[in-house]
Amino acid sequence: MITPSLLTPNRTRRLVRWGAVALLVSLFVGLPRGFAEPRDYFTLESRIPSSSLGIVTIEDVGGMEARMEKTAIAGLFREPEMKAFFEPIEKAGTEMLDAGEEGPFGEAGPMIVKVLEQLKGLRGQIAVAILDYDQTKDMPSAVASLDFGPNVSDFVTFLQTLRAEFDPEGNTVREFEKDGKIWWEFKEGPPITGTTVDTAFVMATDATVLAGVIAGVGEKHLGSDGNFQAVRAKAGGENLAVFAYANVPAIVNVFAADADAEGMRIANHLGLDTLKGAAYAMAFAGDGFMDSFILHTPGADHGIVPLVSTPEFTAPAAPFAPSNAFYLADGAMNIDGLLPRIRTLIEGIEEGASEELDEGLQHVDEAIGVSLEKDLLAGLTGAVGAYASMPDTGGLYPEFSYLLQVKDRASFEAVMEKAVKGIAGMATEEGGMIASTRTLDYHGHKLHLVELQGGEGRDVIPFTPTWTMLDSDQGSWCAITLVPHAMKEIILRHEGKEKGLTSEEDYLSVRRVMPSSAGAMTYIDLQAILNLIYDTAVPALQTAAKPNLLGNEMPFTLDWALLPAARTVRPYFRSMGVFTTWNKDGIAVQMHGPLPLMGAMIIGAGVGATYFMARATAMPPSTMRMRPEPRGPMKGQPIRPRQPGSAKGRLAQIQAQQVASYVRVFVLTQKRLPTNLSELVSEDIAASVPTDPWGNDYAINVIDAKSKRFKIVSAGPDGIFGNADDVQTGG
């Protein structure tokens, strides 16, 4: 047990720091397991006013694992081979926490275990909300809640035990009873008051705010706001896991008074005053996750949002993509009257800006010989597409095509031909390259080629842009490729009426989770891409990193040989879909994939934090200096035999490896072994040489000076070299 006498300021700060780490980790790793119940829990949005500035929630914590189990990534981690790879990591994490004061978490270790145990009792929503902002004090008015369901009384008992153990005098936390509830008030740091409300533990920046949450706000709460409800529904509704909502009008109302008037005018002209809410959300969808970024502008009649719109999605360009396409962008956008709308928009920002736009367009029109607005844009329907693939015939030159649907095939071909010749002439006149055009007949199609070469005629430009006109069930198209060879493949597939990508289950699985409101989508074959990366990286790791890429700096071993084969992993790699909705009600970009965007960021941050923590553990502060001779244990101090695998033993091995790496650098620069380890410091190879975990110096044991073979040795807990408790590593 940690007694109050041990709570020095530094230790208190460490406890707080590791407690925060534990809370963050537990939210995504240590959440309740095997518990799923109907969603009838405390919701913070129903307790705060509709004028609140924003809220971030984690939904249905109790049912999180049940929902996770349905995902493909969960299936991957159930694979026996993958479980075998992660078992040593899980074991190392448990050992670090169980090591107590000797472990990397020190005296905070037992505390982290206790916090994790309590957080497993979470059942409903975790939420943080900003209600208002006091600009005079530069302080927000905030409230947070943790819903424990039937376990809330256990959490209260836990808090009382902590206070009694660490702060019995009430110097930091004041505990008192009010209205039949136990309240806590923190005296240090930001003012925080907490108590229970129904099944939740709620904290606020002051008692008045907390009292308001307890009383509720009737029907005018944030959860009842129409904009909040609309955004929540777009983001995933009942499938939500994480939801962050910004009440834009309320935020503008708080800060607009101090904003520049002209800046606010321009912002409103661009549509800020139509923006009623913005959100990021992560939801479960299919066997993966849907990340959403939403701007909600109901009925917007000015600004950027009404410039274009995406009609109902019909997959217009998808039939052209081959079955092995790893990328497809497909959709349509209403471009009729686009330039007039742009003129109106920019003219409102700066007077005369539309005239400058028209002057620029006129120069372009004169150079290419056609009107960009009246001929080219007017000839398009707004449906566009692009795809990339590797040739299904086995070639290595990637196939890329860009597709534009046209209103009238013959008239657009004539306009396009004239425009391309004009562009080729402009490029040649500028002197950077020589561009010319020619045509080639292939299977009844006229292929238009643009020959490119360097300005001096010798430099190779590795593309010959090619375009032609094609027909499909959806209308006529202008297809553009980088080389003629790719265009020929398109024509042959088109003649053979091959089903292509639209018949592939992987593509269809992405289509099934597409929001009904989306008008455009991008398909990325993550299965192929991740499989390629996995099948390349794993053998490389198994070959070069034996068994750990980071050596002994990591607190656990990564045995790459245990990773499963690519064909075992591939079924769990799901492809990615990016869906775009753009209409007068706002813009939404939603990404469906095997991992949530936020989850991937947390994993990356966790890996980075683990690495730097390992380095911090391995390398002592520069103030530590090597003593001239090893010394034994302090007088009167009992000698504790080193336990294999103990925290200090593992730390000694890590430090010895680090010292050995310094010696290898010394050998490379000095062409000899050091006579003693102090030379590592005198030659500026190391800032210092650490003492071992028992306070003694490391020694270098030369095995063969000629071949530069050596060992770095710690005398172990007894401080005596040459017996069984020594710790050593070869170099």
How would DSSP label each residue in 624-683?
----SS---PPTTPPPPPPPTT-HHHHHHHHHHHHHHHHHHHHHHHHSS--SSTTHHHHT
| Per-residue pLDDT at 530 exceeds 60 | yes
Residue 331 CA to residue 346 CA, distance in Å, equals: 27
- pLDDT digit string (tens) for 623-643? 333 334 444 444 334 434 444
**Which pLDDT score is estimated for 457?**
55
* Closest by Cα among 715, 700, 696, 717 to 648: 717
Here the tokens at position 88 are 């040593």
| Per-residue pLDDT at 553 exceeds 50 | yes
When pLDDT is averaged across residues 469-487 and rounded to a whole number, the result is 94
The partner residues of 612 in beta bridges, in order of sequence, read none
- Whole-number average pLDDT of the chain: 83
Q: How many percent of the chain have pLDDT more than 90? A: 46
5 and 34 Cβ atoms separated by less than 8 Å? no
Residue 623 CA to residue 626 CA, distance in Å, equals: 10
Q: Which domains are delineated in the chain? A: 4-224 (no CATH), 647-730 (3.30.700.10)
**Which pLDDT score is estimated for 644?**
42
**Which pLDDT score is estimated for 718?**
87
When pLDDT is averaged across residues 221-240 and rounded to a whole number, the result is 95
**Which pLDDT score is estimated for 108?**
66
| Per-residue pLDDT at 186 exceeds 70 | yes
When pLDDT is averaged across residues 245-255 and rounded to a whole number, the result is 94
399 and 481 Cβ atoms separated by less than 8 Å? yes
Here the tokens at position 425 are 């002439």
647 and 99 Cβ atoms separated by less than 8 Å? yes
Here the tokens at position 589 are 């970009």
Q: Determine the Cα angle at 418 with ends 413 and 421, to 5°.
A: 120
Residue 307 CA to residue 340 CA, distance in Å, equals: 9
User: What number of helices (H) and strands (E) belong to the chain?
Assistant: 20, 23
**Which pLDDT score is estimated for 442?**
96
Q: Determine the Cα angle at 389 with ends 388 and 392, to 5°.
A: 155
**Per-residue 3-state assignment (H helix, E strand, C coil) for 30-70:** CCCCCCCCCCCCCCHHHCCECCCCEEEEECCHHHHHHHHCC
**Which pLDDT score is estimated for 458?**
63
518 and 501 Cβ atoms separated by less than 8 Å? no
When pLDDT is averaged across residues 32-44 and rounded to a whole number, the result is 57
Give whichever of 76-80, 392-396, 467-471 has the largest mean pLDDT: 467-471
Q: How many CB atoms lie within 10 A of CB 379?
A: 20
When pLDDT is averaged across residues 370-398 and rounded to a whole number, the result is 90
532 and 39 Cβ atoms separated by less than 8 Å? no
The DSSP element (H or E) to which 241 belongs, if any, is strand 240-246
- pLDDT digit string (tens) for 660-702? 888 888 887 888 899 889 998 888 888 888 889 888 999 998 8
473 vs 56, more confident: 56
**Which pLDDT score is estimated for 629?**
40
Q: State the virtual CA torsion across 133, 134, 136, 139 in degrees, nearest 10.
A: -80
Residue 434 CA to residue 448 CA, distance in Å, equals: 17
Question: Quick one: how far is CA 472 from the chain centroid?
Answer: 39
**Which pLDDT score is estimated for 612?**
55
What residues contact 701, with CB distance under 8 A and at least 6 apart?
A: 710, 711, 712, 713, 728
Alpha carbon of 390 to those of 393, 509, 558, 682: distances in Å? 9, 21, 34, 57
